[in-house]
Each structure stands twice: as C-alpha cells, then as structure tokens.
C-alpha cells in the first residue's frame, strides 16, 4: 500500500456521494482492495453475512437504472458493486442489514482513501425493487439485495459540509 494514503479522519470528512464520474477505468486491484475493506467490517458475532456482485457491463447498468428510481449516478460510474445480505449467515433476523451497512461504509472510506469516489444507493427495504434485483441477478433465495455502490473517479468535487451539531449530543441522559 502506498504511503500517500490519507489519514482516517480526513477520509471520513472528505467522503461525499458523487453522482457523475470521469470516463476512466478503475484498476481491478483497487476494486479488490475496496472489497477487502468491506470484508474487514465488524458484524454480529462475526458472521460476515455479505456477498458482493461486481458489475461493469453497460447492459447490466442500463437494466439496473430502469429498476432503481434513484440510481442516476450509475450512468457514468465505471464500476458498480451490489452488496447483498445472506439470511443463512446473519446472527439473527435483522442483522444482515446492519452488518452490510458497516461493510459499505468501510468500502466508501477505503475508496476515498485510495483516491476514488462512490455513491451508496439503497435497495433494501423497498420490497419491489429488491424483487427486481433478485430476479435480474438470479440471486439464491437466502441472498437479499441490500444496496448498490457506484465506484469511479468523480467528475465533480464536493466540499466538506458543516455537519457537527451539538444539539445531537446528549450526556448521561436526554
């Protein structure tokens, strides 16, 4: 790994959802590194109930855009990763969603640290959208489509927003 990789705190503050990408491919080694980061996320009793479907084929991207109402960022993203939860693996019902979210955030941060941009697009809990993804990607019954990640080099830069809010912090009791 390069010594130029950003520190963790800057990475957290700099990550933004990017919906327009440059026409520039992503080295498969970087995609692999991002998937590895996802698999290092914490999960309920370390069940790791995730699967990742990586796709970059134009016709698949087009299909997905038709199935998902808010997946505009896919139009220009060179890579898309669908994160799925495995109900046979999760610690108990309701855990795969939490575990997959932790994996996704790890991936978004890893991508940012590696100079890439991302956008998280939810699939769960829209049952109709979930059904379309399950059918299109021929997922087994126990594997549930959870979210999409658009991945690439952003064509736009987004500023760090101001988000710290004292009112959201409560000490000892509400």
Ligand X SMILES: Cc1cc2nc3c(=O)[nH]c(=O)nc-3n(C[C@H](O)[C@H](O)[C@H](O)COP(=O)(O)O)c2cc1C
* Residue 31 Cβ vs ligand X, minimum distance, rounded to whole Å: 20
> How far apart are the C-alpha atoms of 11 and 108, rounded to whole Å?
9
> Does residue 118 bind ligand X (CB under 6 A)?
no
Nearer to ligand X (CB atom), residue 45 or residue 156: 156
Tokens at 59, concatenated: 């016709």
> Does residue 144 bind ligand X (CB under 6 A)?
no
> How far apart are the C-alpha atoms of 85 and 150, rounded to whole Å?
18
Among 120, 126, 137, 153, binds ligand X (CB under 6 A): 120
Q: Which of residues 10-39 bind ligand X (CB under 6 A)?
A: 16-17, 19
> Does residue 121 bind ligand X (CB under 6 A)?
yes
> How far apart are the C-alpha atoms of 25 and 152, rounded to whole Å?
7
Give the residue carrying structure tokens 């520190």: 7
* Residue 153 Cβ vs ligand X, minimum distance, rounded to whole Å: 16
Largest CA distance in the chain: 53
> Does residue 119 bind ligand X (CB under 6 A)?
yes
Q: Which of residues 54-73 bind ligand X (CB under 6 A)?
A: 70, 73
Candidates 103, 97, 108; CA nearest to 18 is: 108
> Does residue 126 bind ligand X (CB under 6 A)?
no
Residue 68: partners with Cβ closer than 8 Å, 6 or more residues away: 74, 121, 123, 129, 148
- Which positions lie near ligand X, rule CB under 6 A? 16-17, 19, 70, 73, 119-122
């Amino acid at each position: 790994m390069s010594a130029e990789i950003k520190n963790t705190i800057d990475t957290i503050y700099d990550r933004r959802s990017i919906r327009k990408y440059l026409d520039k491919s992503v080295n498969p080694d970087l995609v692999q590194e991002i998937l590895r980061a996802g698999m290092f996320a914490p999960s309920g009793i370390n069940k790791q109930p995730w699967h990742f479907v990586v796709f970059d084929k134009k016709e698949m991207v087009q299909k997905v855009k038709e199935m998902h109402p808010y997946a505009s960022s896919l139009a220009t993203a060179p890579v898309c990763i669908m994160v799925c939860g495995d109900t046979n693996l999760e610690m108990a019902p309701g855990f795969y969603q939490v575990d997959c979210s932790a994996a996704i955030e790890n991936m978004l941060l890893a991508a940012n640290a590696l100079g890439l941009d991302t956008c998280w697009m939810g699939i769960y809990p829209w049952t109709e959208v979930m059904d379309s993804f399950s059918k299109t990607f021929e997922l087994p019954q126990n594997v549930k489509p959870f979210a999409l990640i658009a991945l690439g080099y952003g064509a736009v830069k987004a500023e760090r927003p101001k988000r710290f809010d004292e009112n959201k912090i409560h000490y000892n009791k509400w």
